[in-house]
């Protein structure tokens, strides 16, 4: 069904869509992470009798309250923008997820009620009723997390719809449990949950490190100086260790994408989104190197270094299990050996530097801030890559975006009909570069590769234009 598409001024609609979305998502993830962490930190402070944890918890909620309104406004803007510029997608998508969207709206209202009226405003009034106050924070956090669960489920469906087709505009389904529990949903939810904790606390630790440095210049022995020094290193350390479950979850997530959305997986592993994925990996390397070195300088006990060692060995195990990335020539062995040497070398470095140096030096405070920014960019690039690998589809295999181009469609065809059946990846195209793609494709058809004449011609022209 053809629905009218509203054209956007100045920039194409996809640029507007990304700007609005990537303005909302960091705010929403910050708010959700702070809401989940605040009652936990408040409880730790209550049990330990340590007011620093409560002060940190209250600052999380105070900042979350500041961000809440612009985050909600941008979230509303996303829906309004999609309705006008992607009307067919919105109509068909809402036909499938109407009641989950209504449910997340209810969760949002409950979240606002508990967060503002029963948690934030009662902080001082219920100072002597800590268990009750913390329980209100838990209710607010649970409601906010339910909103994330709904959106992660719906977002995961767009990449891995599984066996549930996207209904037509005139086919209201209202909701589908199978669509919500699509193949990649649990992995995306777990990956984003740990990712939110990791990047938010690393970034928060970096910002608090700058605040600590400022307070230290004014009065190195003040209560504020002591607090910000503790808060920055505590947030940064927790954020650093929250990262390590992500490689394991990410490996399983990638396997699901490989099975359910093979063309999208090819776009990630050597295809048109691979440069963005490499940038994400570089940002992860930055905060791992800085974070690992800072953590073992700040905390001397061997248990901390053993924990960092275990996390780095997890990263190494995932690298060795994962299909090799041919960044070092044709040899898979070279990739595995270099990766092993780098990670084992870094493990040796953190053991050698344990407890040495001055982590309170101004250079380390700036290094923490840089690591926090790197963690944020890694998080943002991860979301961008997840959406970009579906191109030209809006929902993988179900509906294409209105502004799709012939080049995108032909590239998708090469992934799906040429590389997929041959068990190859896009990087293989650059390594082979045959002189005569037409002969190569026709020979493959004679050997049983199922391609229509039109598909074969489109694949040949694309390969001749981009891989010769």
414 and 334, same structural domain? no
Per the structure block, which two tokens stand in for 103? Answer: 């449910």
pLDDT digit string (tens) for 117-157? Answer: 999 999 999 999 999 999 999 999 999 999 999 999 999 99
Token look-up 């049983």 returns 448
- Quote the radius of gyration of the chain (alpha carbons, Å): 25
pTM over 0.85? The answer is yes
Is residue 7 very low, low, confident or very high in pLDDT (cuts 50, 70, 90)? confident
pLDDT of residue 325: 64
430 and 350, same structural domain? no
pLDDT digit string (tens) for 28-53? Answer: 999 999 999 999 999 999 999 999 99
284 and 433, same structural domain? no
From CA 421, how far away is CA 415, in angstroms rounded? 9
Residue 233 is assigned to a structural domain of this protein: yes
358 and 335, same structural domain? yes
From CA 273, how far away is CA 322, in angstroms rounded? 18
Structurally, how many domains does the chain consist of?
Answer: 3
265 and 235, same structural domain? yes
pLDDT of residue 432: 73
Is residue 324 very low, low, confident or very high in pLDDT (cuts 50, 70, 90)? low
162 and 215, same structural domain? no
272 and 199, same structural domain? yes
Residue pair 85/5 in contact by the 8 Å Cβ criterion: yes
Residue 118 is assigned to a structural domain of this protein: yes
Residue 393 is assigned to a structural domain of this protein: no
232 and 142, same structural domain? no
Helices (H), 113-164: 130-159
pLDDT of residue 107: 96
pLDDT(312) > 70:
yes
- ∠255-261-264 over CA atoms, to 5°? 95
Q: Which of 3-17, 379-393, 425-439 has the highest mean pLDDT?
A: 379-393
pLDDT(251) > 60:
yes
Last residue of a domain, one of 182, 214, 249: 182
pLDDT(309) > 60:
yes
pLDDT digit string (tens) for 410-448? Answer: 999 999 999 988 888 887 787 777 778 999 899 989 988
Residue 310 is assigned to a structural domain of this protein: yes
Nearest C-alpha neighbor of 429 from the set 401, 392, 462 = 462
341 and 215, same structural domain? yes
pLDDT digit string (tens) for 61-79? Answer: 999 999 998 988 888 888 8
Is residue 221 very low, low, confident or very high in pLDDT (cuts 50, 70, 90)? confident
Residue 394 is assigned to a structural domain of this protein: no
From CA 18, how far away is CA 404, in angstroms rounded? 16
Nearest C-alpha neighbor of 450 from the set 429, 409, 430, 422 = 422
Average pLDDT over residues 249-276: 91
Is residue 331 very low, low, confident or very high in pLDDT (cuts 50, 70, 90)? low
Residue pair 228/212 in contact by the 8 Å Cβ criterion: yes
Last residue of a domain, one of 356, 388, 420: 388
451 and 419, same structural domain? yes
Nearest C-alpha neighbor of 189 from the set 220, 152, 226, 158 = 152
pLDDT digit string (tens) for 88-112? Answer: 999 999 999 999 999 999 999 999 9
Token look-up 């191109």 returns 391
From CA 108, how far away is CA 140, in angstroms rounded? 9
- Residue 350: Cβ within 10 Å count: 19
339 and 240, same structural domain? yes
Residue with the bigger pLDDT between 335 and 286: it is: 286
Token look-up 């199978």 returns 178
pLDDT of residue 354: 83
Last residue of a domain, one of 158, 182, 206: 182
pLDDT(452) > 70:
yes
Could you list the residue range(s) of the whole structural domain that residue 440 is in?
A: 406-466
Residue 395 is assigned to a structural domain of this protein: no
- Residue 243: Cβ within 10 Å count: 24
Residue 398 is assigned to a structural domain of this protein: no
pLDDT(1) > 60:
no
pLDDT of residue 403: 83
Burial tier of 428 (Cβ tally within 10 Å: 0-12, 13-18, 19+): middle
Kindly report the average pLDDT of the chain as a whole number: 91
Give the three-class secondary structure for 399.
Answer: strand
From CA 442, how far away is CA 462, in angstroms rounded? 15
Residue 397 is assigned to a structural domain of this protein: no
155 and 247, same structural domain? no
From CA 7, how far away is CA 18, in angstroms rounded? 15
């Amino acid at each position: 069904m053809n629905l009218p598409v509203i054209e956007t001024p100045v920039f194409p609609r996809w640029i507007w869509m990304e700007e609005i979305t990537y303005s909302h998502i960091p705010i929403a993830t910050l708010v959700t992470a702070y809401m989940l962490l605040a009652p936990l930190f408040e409880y730790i402070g209550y049990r330990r009798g340590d007011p620093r944890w409560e002060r940190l918890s209250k600052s999380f909620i105070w900042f979350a309250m500041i961000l809440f309104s612009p985050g909600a406004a941008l979230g509303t803007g996303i829906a309004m923008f999609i309705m006008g510029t992607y009307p067919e997608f919105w109509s068909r998508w809402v036909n499938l997820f109407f009641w989950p969207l209504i449910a997340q709206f209810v969760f949002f209202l409950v979240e606002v009620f508990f967060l503002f009226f029963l948690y934030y405003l009662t902080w001082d009034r219920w100072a002597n009723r800590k268990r009750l106050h913390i329980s209100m924070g838990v209710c607010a956090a649970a409601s906010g997390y339910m909103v994330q669960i709904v959106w992660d489920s719906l977002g995961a469906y767009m990449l891995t719809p599984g066996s549930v087709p996207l209904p037509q505009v005139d086919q209201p389904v209202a909701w589908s449990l199978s669509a919500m529990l699509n193949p990649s949903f649990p992995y995306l939810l777990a990956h984003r949950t740990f990712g939110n904790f990791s990047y938010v606390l690393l970034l928060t630790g970096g910002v608090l490190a700058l605040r600590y440095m400022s307070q230290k210049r004014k009065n190195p022995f003040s209560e504020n100086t002591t607090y910000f020094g503790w808060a920055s290193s505590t947030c940064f350390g927790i954020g650093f260790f929250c990262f390590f479950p992500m490689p394991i979850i990410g490996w399983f997530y990638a396997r699901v994408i490989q099975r359910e959305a093979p063309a999208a997986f090819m776009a990630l592993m050597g295809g048109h989104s691979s440069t963005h994925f490499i940038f994400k990996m570089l940002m992860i390397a930055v905060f791992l190197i800085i974070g690992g070195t800072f953590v073992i300088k700040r905390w001397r006990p061997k248990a901390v270094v053993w924990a960092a060692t275990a996390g780095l060995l997890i990263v190494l195990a995932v690298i060795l299990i994962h299909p090799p990335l041919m960044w070092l020539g044709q040899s898979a062995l070279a990739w595995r050996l270099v990766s092993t040497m780098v990670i084992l070398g870094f493990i040796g470095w953190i053991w050698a530097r344990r407890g040495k140096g001055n982590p309170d030096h101004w250079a380390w405070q700036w290094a923490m801030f840089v690591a926090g920014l790197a963690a944020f960019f890694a998080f943002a690039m991860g979301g961008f890559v997840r959406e970009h690998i579906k191109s030209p589809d809006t929902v993988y295999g179900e509906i294409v975006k209105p502004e799709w181009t012939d080049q995108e469609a032909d590239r998708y065809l090469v992934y799906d009909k040429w590389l997929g059946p041959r068990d190859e990846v896009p990087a293989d195209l650059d390594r082979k570069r045959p002189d005569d793609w037409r002969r190569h494709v026709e020979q493959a058809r004679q050997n049983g590769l199922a391609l229509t004449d039109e598909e074969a011609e489109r694949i040949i022209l694309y390969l001749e234009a981009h891989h010769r």
